[in-house]
Structures are given as structure tokens and as C-alpha cells.
Structure 1
Amino acid sequence: MVGVGGGRQTVVTMLPHLVKTLRNESIKPSNRALPSLRRTFSLYDQINLIDTVPEDQLRFQWYGDTGFTVNGVKYEGSLLVVENKLMTWAPKTFSEITPESLSIFKILRPVPEILVLGCGRHIHPISPQLRQFIGSTGMKLEAVDSRNAASTYNILSEEGRPVAAALLPFGVVS
């Protein structure tokens, strides 16, 4: 049986031989193409169906035409998530999203780094007034459909980023 010191000494003497052996071996590239995961799985499908939710974080687990499930609780209608707090949100259509509907960000301190805006089923162009208002708060804007907005919120929140979300239900088309 070799003592600890002897074992270390054996490893040290073997290391140059191991390095030399690895340098002499040629790496053979594989001609097999990796399958595209995009065809098989959607990243958003995996993220939206999170079953285990940390108690101290809000996590979107499901979205639908009329609302969302957050931390196991189903909410109908539009939602606003700020500082890990969930609120109902007045806008029912994309045209109702105005600086006034987001006025909480005039007084909120610290301001989140990013506002994830869920536009409903489709992405809509953001009006110059709304874009200017969001920029004036110091936030960056990420406007996507509500399915992707819920997933984006989950990812950014999990990373510990200061993020807020304003989401219309996925069934909203105008």
C-alpha cells in the first residue's frame, strides 16, 4: 500500500507521460451531424412547464387564451409583475397599453432593468410615445408575444436580473 506522499509522487511522475500520450493521439472528427433540437423541442415549451417553483420567486408555469398560472395559482386577464409582486393589470387589448397604464414605473425605485411586454398572440409595433416613456424610466424594453414574454420573464428572474413583466393573455389578438 502506497502512502499519500507516495501516491502524489506516482501521479507527478506519470503526468509527463500522460501529456505526451495525449499529444500523440489524433482527434478524429465525427461526420455525424447532431440532430437539431429546435425541430424536437421548443425552449419555451420546456420553460413554461416548470413544476418546482422556489418559494421566493414568481414563476409562470402555464399560459392560455384568458390568463396565466403563476406558482400554481391561475389568474384570469392581464398581469403586471414588479419586484416579485403580481398585480392584475387594466389593459385588455394592445391598444390600451399606454404610458398611463405603466405609470407605476414613474414612482417605483429601484426601476427594473428590463420590462418584458407580452403583446398577446402576436408582436405589435410599439408606439413612439410608449417607447419614449419606457426609455425615460431607464428600463430596456423587450416586446414579444405573451408566451415568449412569460418564458423570458422566468429566465431573467432565475438569473437574478431586476425584471418586470406586463402581459396580456395569449388569446388577445388586437
Structure 2
Amino acid sequence: MDITPLIPTGRQIVKGYGDGGFTIAGLRWEGSVLVLPERTQPWSPRDLAQVTEDSLAPLLTLEEKPRLLLLGCGQRMAPVPSALRAALRAAGITLELMDTGGACRTFNVLVSEDRSVAAALIAV
């Protein structure tokens, strides 16, 4: 019995991470990335201290914002400033923090369920 989840065509799936980048939808991305179900783009933060409302502007300015943002914090999870969490909440986005590996795996599961999700992944 095949238990592989069906992934809708055109969806971004994180196939691998490490060595300073990611393999997503068959492409290698160097550095941190923002991943939405339908596209991936480079993202400038190299560590959690560089994650700001400005760095997340590409998500905050979307017409259809994701309902959930998975923030891959790098090797370990760490807190973010309450102002950043409040700005995301005001935009209707719930923030979930986890290490980058956990965020990659969780993103893949939620995309396979066709959920409204994005991932901001700091490269490890």
C-alpha cells in the first residue's frame, strides 16, 4: 500500500536542507528562503536577530496572506520580539517557531493538506 501523500501539482516541497541552503521543488537555493505553496524566493536573514517586520514584508504585503507562518529559527528555536508577533497577528498570520528542520517537515505536511501556510527558513 502506497502511503505517500499526494502533492498538488506546482506545490513547493522542501526535499532537503543543510550546507547553507535548501532543495525545494527540484532546485537548490543557497541561503535563507521564504517558501509559499506556489513559489520560493531568497530571504536575507542569516540569523533570528535579522528577522524583522521589514524582512517579512513580502508576506505581509500579499493580497492573500498565509494564515500560518512557520519560522525556521536555524539550529535551535528561540523567541522573537513581541512586536513582530503582534505585527503578524494584525495581518491575520499566526506565527509558529521551530528549528529549521522541523519547519521544513511541518511545511511539507501542511502543503500536502492544502493548508494556507508559508515558511521563513533560516539556512543551516
Normalised by the length of structure 2, the TM-score is: 0.89
List gaps (5 residues or longer) in structure 1: 1-49
Q: Which has the higher helix share?
A: 1
Q: What are the equivalent positions in structure 2 for 1:139-150 lying under 5 Å apart?
A: 139-150=93-104
Residues 53, 161 of structure 1: alpha-carbon distance in 2 compared, 3 angstrom cutoff: closer
**1:54 Cα deviation after fit:** 5.5
- Asked if the contact 1:82/1:165 (under 8 Å) is kept, the reply is yes
Q: Bigger CA drift: 125-134 or 147-156?
A: 125-134
Residues 87, 168 of structure 1: alpha-carbon distance in 2 compared, 3 angstrom cutoff: same
Matches of 1:59 and 1:106, distance apart in 2: 22
- 2:50 corresponds, among 96, 105, 123, to 96
| Pairing 1:110–2:67 present | no
**1:57 Cα deviation after fit:** 1.0
Please name the residue that 1:74 is paired with: 28
Q: What are the equivalent positions in structure 2 for 1:6-155 lying under 5 Å apart?
A: 55-155=9-109
Q: Which has the higher strand share?
A: 2
Extract structure 1 runs of 4+ deviating beyond 6 A. none
List gaps (5 residues or longer) in structure 2: none
Overall identity of the aligned pairs, in %: 36
The amino acid of 2:99's aligned partner reads D
Local SS of the residue matching 2:40: strand
The amino acid of 1:144's aligned partner reads M
Please name the residue that 1:16 is paired with: none
Matches of 1:107 and 1:72, distance apart in 2: 27
Please name the residue that 1:168 is paired with: 122
Matches of 2:8 and 2:59, distance apart in 1: 26
Normalised by the length of structure 1, the TM-score is: 0.64
Say which one has the larger Rg.
1
**1:53 Cα deviation after fit:** 6.5
Residues 159, 54 of structure 1: alpha-carbon distance in 2 compared, 3 angstrom cutoff: closer
Tell me how large the CA RMSD over aligned residues is. Answer: 1.7
Number of paired residues? 120
Q: Bigger CA drift: 61-70 or 104-113?
A: 104-113
Matches of 1:66 and 1:137, distance apart in 2: 30
Matches of 1:107 and 1:101, distance apart in 2: 11
